[in-house]
Amino acid sequence: MSSTQTSTSADLGTDRVITYSEAVREAIGQAMEADDRVFMLGEDIGVYGGAFGVSGDLYHRFGAERIRDTPISELGIVGAAVGAALVGMRPIVEIQFSDFTNQAMDQIVNQAAKIHYMLGGAMSVPMVLRAPLGSGTGAAAQHSQSLEAWFAHVPGLKVVMPATAADAKGLLLSAIDDPNPVIVLEHKLLYRTSGPVPEEAVRVPLGQSAVRRRGEHLTIVGTGVMVSRALEAAEVLAADGIDVSVIDPRTLTPLDDAPIHEDVSRTGRALLVQEAPGHVGFTAELSARIAESPTIYRLLAPVRRLSGLDAPIPYAPQLETASVPQVADIVESAKTLVKES
Amino acid sequence: MSATPGTDHDTARHALLTMWTIRRFEEAVDDLFARGLMHGTMHLSIGQEASATGACLALRTDDAITSTHRGHGHCIAKGADLTRMMAELLAKETGYCRGRGGSMHIADTATGNLGANGIVAGGIPIAAGAALAFKMRAEDRVVACFFGDGAANEGAFHEAVNLAAIWKLPVVFICENNKYGMSFSTEKSFAIENISERAAAYGIPGTTVDGNDLDEVYGAVSAAVDRARAGEGPTLVENVTYRWKGHSKSDKNLYRTKEEIAEWRAKDPILRFEARVKESGLLTEEEVQLIRTQAMEDMRAAVREANAAPDADPSDLLDAVFARA
User: Which of B59, B33, B58, B29 is closest to B46 using CA atoms?
Assistant: B29
Phi-psi region of A63 (alpha: psi -120 to 50; beta: other; left: phi over 0): left
In a domain, residue A172? The reply is yes
Evaluate if residue A5 carries a pLDDT over 60: no
User: In this complex, do B115 and A107 lie within 8 Å of one another by their Cβ atoms?
Assistant: no
Residues A8-26: pLDDT tens digits?
Answer: 677 788 889 999 999 999 9
Separation of alpha carbons A217 and A267, rounded Å: 5
Cα dihedral value B294, B50, B234, B196, nearest 10: -170
User: In this complex, do A179 and B323 lie within 8 Å of one another by their Cβ atoms?
Assistant: yes
In a domain, residue B125? The reply is yes
Beta bridge partners of A41: A68, A93
In a domain, residue A90? The reply is yes
The closest CB to that of A76, out of B105, B118, B160, belongs to B160
Report residue A95 CA to chain centroid gap. 15
User: In this complex, do A86 and B325 lie within 8 Å of one another by their Cβ atoms?
Assistant: no
Separation of alpha carbons B276 and B282, rounded Å: 9
In a domain, residue A201? The reply is no
For position A234, which CATH number holds?
Answer: 3.40.50.920
Indicate whether A92 and A130 sit together in one domain: yes
**Among B residues 285-324, those touching chain A with beta carbons less than 8 Å apart:** 320-324
Q: How high is the ipTM of this complex?
A: 0.96
With vertex at residue A295, the alpha carbon angle to CA A291 and CA A301, rounded to the nearest 5 degrees, is 75
What residue of A is the nearest CA neighbor of B99? A120
Measured in angstroms, the CA of A60 and the nearest CA of chain B are apart by 18
Give residues with Cβ within 8 angstroms of B194, minimum separation 6: B206, B208, B238
Positions in chain B short of pLDDT 50: 1
User: In this complex, do A83 and B321 lie within 8 Å of one another by their Cβ atoms?
Assistant: no
Q: What is the pLDDT of residue A7?
A: 57
Final residue of a structural domain among A161, A196, A231: A196
Collapsing DSSP to helix, strand or coil, B29 comes out as helix
Indicate whether A253 and A311 sit together in one domain: yes
| Domain extent for A276 | 210-340
Indicate whether A218 and A153 sit together in one domain: no
Q: Specify the DSSP element, H or E, that contains A306.
A: strand A304-308
In a domain, residue A225? The reply is yes
Q: For A40-65, what is the mean pLDDT?
A: 98
Number of domains in chain A: 2
In a domain, residue A110? The reply is yes
Separation of alpha carbons A255 and A272, rounded Å: 15
| Domain extent for B137 | 9-307
Neighbour count for residue A240 (Cβ, 10 Å)? 11
For position B108, which CATH number holds?
Answer: 3.40.50.970
A326, exposed or middle or buried, with CB in 10 Å at 0-12, 13-18, 19+?
middle
With vertex at residue B134, the alpha carbon angle to CA B231 and CA B3, rounded to the nearest 5 degrees, is 65
Q: What is the pLDDT of residue A4?
A: 41
Indicate whether A192 and A214 sit together in one domain: no
Measured in angstroms, the CA of B69 and the nearest CA of chain A are apart by 14
pLDDT band of residue A52 (cuts 50, 70, 90) is very high
pLDDT band of residue A109 (cuts 50, 70, 90) is very high
**Among B residues 137-176, those touching chain A with beta carbons less than 8 Å apart:** 143, 155-156, 159-160, 162-163, 166
Residues A302-341: pLDDT tens digits?
Answer: 999 999 999 999 999 999 999 999 999 999 999 999 998 8
For residue B325, list chain A residues with Cβ-Cβ distance below 8 A. 177-179
Report residue B269 CA to chain centroid gap. 14
Evaluate if residue A6 carries a pLDDT over 60: no
B146, exposed or middle or buried, with CB in 10 Å at 0-12, 13-18, 19+?
buried
Told to judge if B218 belongs to the known catalytic residues of this protein, a careful annotator would answer no
Q: What percent of chain A has pLDDT over 90?
A: 95
Q: What is the pLDDT of residue B251?
A: 86
Q: Spot the catalytic one: B98, B229, B255, B256.
A: B255
Indicate whether A187 and A300 sit together in one domain: no
The closest CB to that of B129, out of A66, A82, A178, belongs to A82
